[in-house]
Structure 1
Amino acid sequence: MTLLTPIVRAFRSELLKCRRWSMVAGTGIMLVVSAFFAYLTFHQITSGVTGQEVDPLTHAFSTSLGLITVVGQARSFIIVVSLIMITVNLAAEWSQGTWRNLLVREPRRLPLLVGKMLALLLFVLGSMTLALVASSALILVTAGAQGVQTAAWTSVSGISAWFAFFGNEVLCLIGICLLGMLIAILTRSTGIAVGVALAYVLVPEGIIAMVWQEGSRWFPIRTFNFLPGSVFPADVGPIPPQGYTAALLTALVWMAVIVAGSFIAFRWQDINA
């Protein structure tokens, strides 16, 4: 109980800060843009657009995986927005001198970090859930209005696929956010943290994959992305070449390593601002 008390206090305090306009705006942007991507993909498929990128989506459209294939096109944007939310909120605590003030009241650093991160994760995952549910509802309503058959999407297989996609997307986003936490702790600067986080997520592992295909599959970002990708058809999602179980275990190991590294770095940092 003694250990949980500062965690709960930090958690509740951070939840109050999540009501700031910047956080609410992040959720709104995630919601609107995700719905736009889903609708744009739906429109391309139903209007008969062809091409190397659209054809696999068209093939999956009429199957039980059709809905998640359409909604899943906003995944990268959701990841980017979530990563920015995490890194900005954590790194700003150094820029604004908040950590020093908080540690005067609560000298135990790790419970403070755990409570804060749990609140941020809850907010980000809630935003992602809202975006995916709203996008799915929009596509179902639009499909019904245009006479598109959605029986396969709402079948037992289709609903199971949606929840499997959602569960794996939660795991992926948790891994991404934990990585953002580590980067924010190491850089202690809002601008640098966001820049480094986005640069790493968007660039290096893709370049490494071009020259070292075998080894790159075990890197954190690719491993996290393999989890929701495993639910998509083989020609649509990043199917884990090492198998889903191996990808899941690797992702969990990476999460544990990232958390341990974050705790060690935060525990021994000199916080003087």
Structure 2
Amino acid sequence: MTTISATTAAPSHAVASSPGLVKTIRSEWIRVWRPSFRYGGFGILALFSILISYFIYSSLADPSAATGPPGPAGAATTAADLEQAGGMIYPLGTISTLAGIVVLSLWAIAAASDYDTGLIRVLVQAQPSRLRLLGGKIIALSLFTVLLSAVTVLVTSAVARPLARAYEIDTEPWKTDAAAEMASGFFNFLVPVLVWGLIGLMIAVLTRSSGTAIGVGIGWLLVVEGLIGIWAPDITHLLPGGTLSALAAGGTSDLSWASALGLTLLYGAITTSVSLFVFRNRDIVS
């Protein structure tokens, strides 16, 4: 009895009747918007936003304190950092690293769970175009991440004013170009977080394991880049973690905003290309 491999080309009538990209995105969105993702993702990042903002403001409660806790890109936070245009979203630079870990984990789980459950075979049969299938997943996860980032920015901004009032931070400069500052902060937060998600997706596609993908991603950020920083501190700002943090901070002394954006987009393009290439050409096995 002849068996047909999952990599065998689908019949022409199956390809012709395969779902379009919009239907694929809708199908992926339904699975992404499940309660565990929705409540877990939004709840965790909202909690992080509140806690980190509180920590930053409360640590500056003593007017005689010269500096506060580390802020974006490791720079020490001062009251002056908060008392400037866009100061209401200043904590986003610090929140972005934790948000990146959360989004990396969610994207890795979304990709690897299809292999863990064997659902990937059903999905490939329903949508023979693998590029369209994975592309639909990437778009659905990106839309989810946009919403996640928007809520994080809004929560950070919402808790800023009561915290500033409690710890006597001057909020008058916040009125200067507030809309433009919010839009800029949202962009600088969203792009690095999206790339963290793409990194998680790539590792999950390569390993077919959410646990491995999450472990490798977090291990790289917390351990590997730290070790590289000991031996070659001059290049740490060019590594993924350093680059994405620099963009979230709006640029640093080591890496300008434009350079950070360019490198971030390059990392995003590389991870997306690797994911699509591997997913398209590798056998589907349970």
TM-score range, shorter chain: 0.7 to 0.9
Residue in 2 that maps onto 1:166: 186
Q: Which moved more, 1:42-51 or 1:112-121?
A: 42-51
The code of the aligned residue for 1:153 comes to W
Residue in 2 that maps onto 1:7: 21
- Residue 96 of structure 2 is aligned to residue 78 of structure 1: no
Residue in 1 that maps onto 2:31: 17
The code of the aligned residue for 1:45 comes to L
When residues 141 and 265 of structure 1 are mapped into structure 2, their CA distance, relative to the original with a 3 A threshold, is: same
Helix, strand or coil at the partner of 1:46: coil
Query: How many residues are aligned here?
Result: 264
Q: Which moved more, 1:158-167 or 1:169-178?
A: 158-167
CA deviation map 1:30-80 (0-9, x unaligned): 112211221232222234483754363323122224323234432222111
Q: CA RMSD in A?
A: 2.4
Residue in 1 that maps onto 2:159: 138
Residue in 2 that maps onto 1:250: 263
8 Å CA contact 1:71, 1:136 repeated in 2: no
When residues 49 and 85 of structure 1 are mapped into structure 2, their CA distance, relative to the original with a 3 A threshold, is: farther
Match of 1:42 among 30, 35, 57: 57
8 Å CA contact 1:42, 1:70 repeated in 2: no
2-structure distance, mates of 1:19, 1:253: 28
Helix, strand or coil at the partner of 1:152: helix
- Residue 144 of structure 2 is aligned to residue 123 of structure 1: yes
Q: Which moved more, 1:144-153 or 1:190-199?
A: 144-153
Question: Gapped runs of 5+ residues in structure 2?
Answer: 1-15, 70-75
8 Å CA contact 1:57, 1:69 repeated in 2: no
CA apart distance, 1:148? 4.2
When residues 139 and 216 of structure 1 are mapped into structure 2, their CA distance, relative to the original with a 3 A threshold, is: closer
| TM-score normalised by the chain length of structure 2 | 0.83
Residue in 2 that maps onto 1:193: 213
Question: Gapped runs of 5+ residues in structure 1?
Answer: 232-238
Kindly, what percent of the aligned residue pairs are identical?
26
| TM-score normalised by the chain length of structure 1 | 0.87
- Residue 42 of structure 2 is aligned to residue 27 of structure 1: yes
8 Å CA contact 2:92, 2:189 repeated in 1: no
